[in-house]
Amino acid sequence: MSDRSIDPEPAIGSEPPRLSMLIACWNAAATIERALASVLDEHGVPFECIVIDDGSTDGTADIVQAVADRDARVVLLRLPANAGVSAARNHGLDSARGDWVAFHDADDVMLPGWLGALMGPTRDPAVRAVIGQRIWSDGQRTWLSARYDIPDIREPGRKSIATHPGLVYYASATGKVFHRSLLDGLPFEGRVMGDQPWTIRALLRAGPNIEVVAETVFEWWRPGSDASVETITTRARGSAAGAAAMAVMARTAFLAVSAEVDARIDSAPTREAVKHAYFDRLLVSDLSGPVREAARRRDPEASRLFDALTDFLDAIPRSILATSAPLPRQLLRPPAVHWKLLPHRARGPYWRMVRQALGADPTMARRIAWRRAVELAFVFARVRPPLGPLIASTVLSTATILKGLVEHERSP
């Protein structure tokens, strides 16, 4: 990691901090001290580290207070009851004194050199946001996600979301710093995915003044399936009911980002491109996995998930639905592939979801289907209920049975 020229750190209390680092935490006693140590190991720029304890019951606040007693940069805010990460971050923003704001999570790690890498570019008064690189870790290994490993994110330089819409694939608030001028009237909302619309809207407000740096500043903890510590997001993705809440938030997030895009970008084709990129990002990174797992597990709440996804798709412009590559392959196809496992009460909501897409693109049936016999089911799905979905279900069930018979005949 390269060194950057940054201002020397004055004595504690001699001037307000240039940076406010906010850490919202809840029952993070196992990880908070390590997370704090990774932040506080850095010097050279005056900063405060505001830890918002969101009603923890496991001693998290006591651990933070002990660190604060040793390091005056740490400020502990204790909320009386758990209100969710968005509410906690909003409390932190109300108390932040720095001209620049950053966010960290209680189970993640800032890497050595993070402070200089992120704050060095802020010496240029034109810069409004700085984005550092991140790696993933499960405690045993580190890696880069293929969805993240794209030029818009990985190549350093001065950028905007309008010119580099792939930046929406790095939609977490962590690993970045934001100038306070971007944050007026911009609260976090929602217990899951709340940082996505906040981050993208803040970056849209930065316009062409986003500096992407090459240094890796942030290690994002992504536990394996056998990990003993759960995050809010992994809990949401682990059940169809939780994923339904994510789908509800996806609709809210898309509409909020779309409104910001309309307010900040003049070119109609560019507005469409940014909205399209965010829609595809929501499908690929947030929604397709839970849909696939809900079908595989025979999740009894799959109907709730499909209802929420129908409402989500209803908010998306038809031009985007018609041209989205992930929509047919990654969102609509998996339940059909696992049709025998899909609970019967989820099949009606599934066809309602499919009809949203079929209405946007006359070729959608072919794009969803993986075999000609299966395509016929989606052709019939266009017919109004109850007849259309009934025939579509029958065709799909028959195709699934025939597929099983063929596989049986071919087996030794």
List b or e across 71-100, with b for residues whose CB sees 16 or more CB atoms inside 10 angstroms.
eebbbbbebeebbbbbbbbbbbbeebebeb
* 10 occurs within a structural domain: no
Cα(402)–Cα(334) distance, integer angstroms? 18
* 14 occurs within a structural domain: no
The rounded mean pLDDT for the chain is 91
At a CB cut-off of 8 Å and minimum separation 6, what does 411 contact?
none
Range of the domain at 369: 238-410
Q: Where are the beta strands (DSSP E) in 32-124?
A: 47-54, 74-79, 100-105, 109-110
Do 251 and 152 share a domain, yes or no? no
* 386 occurs within a structural domain: yes
Say whether pLDDT at 160 is over 80: yes
Percent of all residues in the chain with a pLDDT value above 90, rounded to a whole number? 85
Q: Could you tell me how far CA 294 lies from the centroid of its own chain? A: 19
Q: What is the DSSP string of 208-253?
A: T-EEEEEEEEEEEE---TT-S---HHHHHHTSHHHHHHHHHHHHHH
Do 119 and 249 share a domain, yes or no? no
Say whether pLDDT at 405 is over 90: no
Do 213 and 249 share a domain, yes or no? no
Percent of all residues in the chain with a pLDDT value above 70, rounded to a whole number? 90
* 229 occurs within a structural domain: no
pLDDT tens-digit readout, 195-231 = 999 999 999 999 999 999 999 999 999 876 444 344 4
Do 212 and 245 share a domain, yes or no? no
pLDDT tens-digit readout, 268-319 = 999 999 999 999 999 999 999 999 999 999 999 999 999 999 999 999 999 9
CA proximity to 198, closest of 168, 219, 220:
168
Say whether pLDDT at 11 is over 70: no
Give the predicted TM-score (pTM) of the model: 0.90
* 227 occurs within a structural domain: no
- Which 8-state DSSP code applies to residue 300? T
Do 216 and 283 share a domain, yes or no? no
Q: What is the DSSP string of 355-394?
A: HHHHTT-TTHHHHH-SSHHHHHHHHHTTSPTTHHHHHHHH
At a CB cut-off of 8 Å and minimum separation 6, what does 314 contact?
356
Q: Backbone phi, then psi, for 186, in 5-degree steps?
A: -125, 80
Do 283 and 181 share a domain, yes or no? no
Counting Cα atoms < 13 Å in the Cβ hemisphere of 168 gives 27
Domain end marker among 163, 196, 221: 221
When divided into structural domains, the chain yields a total of 2
